[in-house]
Structure 1
Amino acid sequence: MSALLKALAACAAMALTGAALAESTSLRQLSDREDLLGWEAVGRLDFAGKGFCSGTLIAPDLVLTAAHCVYDRDGQLRAVSQIQFRAGLQDGRAIAERQALQIAAHPGYRPERGPDAENVIHDVALIRLENPISSFEADPFVLHSGRNYGDEISVTSYGMGRAEVPSRQRSCTLMAEFQQVMMIDCNVTFGSSGAPVFSQVGGRGRILSVVSSGGIYQGRKVAFGMQLADRVAELKAQLRRNPVAAVDRRIKRVRVGGGNGVSGAKFIRPGG
């Protein structure tokens, strides 16, 4: 068991002494268009056929995801040309598809390290899209603020074995918090990285955290995320300091040579 999981397990044990864990609901696929209504801003980030993560619109041109998703297996930042966001993807059809323009991965995240507490805290990235997605197509989610998380936490994600349709776990339990890391008993797997963790306070869900990695605690699958608001503010400032203009697609560019340096997607194995 990792040091992070041990620390969170100790916190969970203290918090749950004398009390039973709340029952979490099972995953439910949003397989009909009616099911998808309101969740179109959750989408799949595709890496040129080399894997995928989950991501969420928090502005018409900004996608929130995990930092480890934007690095390849060699620890190199992916080329934006290899990243596409497919909002509300369902059985091969997306509400909207956009190419990435700019990446801001939190500087506190170190791709060469494993999922220790420091990396989980900073495992956050923003992707600016070449063109915004209209709120009529997909209404962005806002971030949660404050300490009142409400009674229910939920996760909507794509994942291995359920890559073509988003799945929603309507109710999870926040089991522990330790040094800005959260442990929740949501069912995550490969591809769930970067998925939004919602607090249901105030009607429509607000993003409380994103899925960084997973493990097993007392025979239950658990997911780790981070306290989010400060990390996102830091990433937005990073994007403002380094503005990038969209490529004029009317100009045809010829590239000499073939091949590319992108390798397979890097995911943190649940329980690893």
Structure 2
Amino acid sequence: MKTLRCAATVLGIVAAAILGTGPADIGSAAAQTLPGIHEGDSRQSVLSGEGPLAAIGRLNLGGTGHCTGTLIAPSVVLTAAHCLYSHALHRFLPPSAVHFLAGYSRETYIAHRRARAVLPSPDFLPNPAGVVDLAGNDWAVVVLEAPIDQPPLPLADVPLGPDTVVEQAGYSQDRAHVLSIDPACRILGRIEGTPLVAHTCDAVGGDSGSPILIEGPDGPAVVAVHSSTGPDFGLAIPVGVFLPAITAYLETDAPADGAVAEEPAPTDP
């Protein structure tokens, strides 16, 4: 796989990603002012919560903003760990504050579930400055209080070489109430010394945790999770980095060590 060797390039994306990480704040901004839009805006709005992409949903985060998550099992959602960490509280959000709206589109959705547990990567280290986690630990799963009757998207551990054509779909901060998809972006290569891959998908705030997809004979499959964005390219964590840990969880169906505890009291989404 091609690696991006230039140290200045890596440092540039890290610095730029300070502007592009974290959940989208309440509010919006014009697309042309947002880091993450590369050589024109290629995003297309998906107005219906139907079909395979209905497994993608909006994660509402205790009234502080939102990210994107993907249903990968009937009661398990994949997202980015930094979305779930509150720098104000100096800890991960309690599950009662995390709500998943599958197939969300203009105030409608196919299902709403509160989290019963939040399971970040055990190696994730919060960074108050918002600098990118280059170790590939910016992933998490949210365990829902009840399953959702929607086919989940499969995880696919496949090579992501330069010029691999991919898709990315998420709830961008400037289009927060519809799913936006970049239907034909591509992988640029791997960041040298890290497991991360750079991509050209138009992903901005709110797209954190969104899936990088490849279309297969059986439909879309998740090949990476979007972690951060900058003016020249975004960064994503390939499925192979976290697949063993998630597979172990799916096989046991029990909260793992380090899980944020379940909270019983529901709140409004």
TM-score bracket for the superposition, by shorter chain length: 0.7 to 0.9
- Could you say which residue in structure 1 is the equivalent of 2:154? 142
Letter aligned with residue 177 of structure 2: E
* Count of equivalent residues: 226
CA offset at residue 122 of structure 1? 0.9
CA offset at residue 188 of structure 1? 1.2
- Closer/same/farther in 2, CA of residues 64 and 117 from structure 1, 3 Å limit: same
Gaps of 5+ in 1: 10-22, 254-272
Letter aligned with residue 51 of structure 2: L
- Could you say which residue in structure 1 is the equivalent of 2:238? 227
Q: Any idea what SS the aligned residue of 2:119 has? A: strand
- Could you say which residue in structure 2 is the equivalent of 1:27? 43
Q: For residues 119 and 126 of structure 2, what CA distance do their matches in structure 1 show? A: 14
| Structure 2 residue 83 is the aligned partner of structure 1 residue 69 | yes
Q: Any idea what SS the aligned residue of 2:216 has? A: coil
- Closer/same/farther in 2, CA of residues 246 and 224 from structure 1, 3 Å limit: closer
Match for residue 112 of structure 1 among 119, 124, 127: 127
TM-score, reference length from structure 1 = 0.74
Q: Any idea what SS the aligned residue of 1:167 has? A: strand
Q: Which stretches of structure 1, 4 residues or longer, exceed 3 Å deviation after superposition? A: 148-151, 235-247
Q: Is the CA contact (8 Å cut-off) linking 1:105 and 1:235 kept in structure 2?
A: no
Q: Any idea what SS the aligned residue of 1:193 has? A: coil
CA offset at residue 132 of structure 1? 0.3
- Closer/same/farther in 2, CA of residues 100 and 193 from structure 1, 3 Å limit: same
Gaps of 5+ in 2: 1-5, 13-38
- Could you say which residue in structure 1 is the equivalent of 2:64? 50
- Closer/same/farther in 2, CA of residues 122 and 232 from structure 1, 3 Å limit: same
Q: Any idea what SS the aligned residue of 2:148 has? A: coil
User: 1:100-122 deviations in whole A, cap 9, x for unaligned?
Assistant: 0111100221112620412xx11
Q: Any idea what SS the aligned residue of 2:156 has? A: coil
Match for residue 158 of structure 1 among 171, 186, 193: 171
User: 1:197-238 deviations in whole A, cap 9, x for unaligned?
Assistant: 002233411111111001122xxxx21011223413214536
| Structure 2 residue 233 is the aligned partner of structure 1 residue 199 | no
Q: For residues 91 and 262 of structure 2, what CA distance do their matches in structure 1 show? A: 22
Q: For residues 8 and 183 of structure 1, what CA distance do their matches in structure 2 show? A: 13
Q: For residues 139 and 55 of structure 1, what CA distance do their matches in structure 2 show? A: 14
Please give the root-mean-square deviation of Cα atoms over the aligned residues, in Å. 3.1
Alignment of 1:1-272 (within 5 A): 6-7=9-10, 26-32=42-48, 36-74=50-88, 75-112=90-127, 114-118=131-135, 121-134=136-149, 138-147=150-159, 151-178=164-191, 179-217=194-232, 222-237=233-248, 240=252, 242=255
- Structure 1 or 2, whichever has the larger Rg, is 1
What percent of counterpart residues are identical?
Answer: 27
Q: For residues 5 and 141 of structure 1, what CA distance do their matches in structure 2 show? A: 36
Q: For residues 116 and 68 of structure 1, what CA distance do their matches in structure 2 show? A: 9
Which structure would you say has the larger RCO, counting Cα contacts within 8 Å and 6 or more residues apart?
2
CA offset at residue 8 of structure 1? 9.0
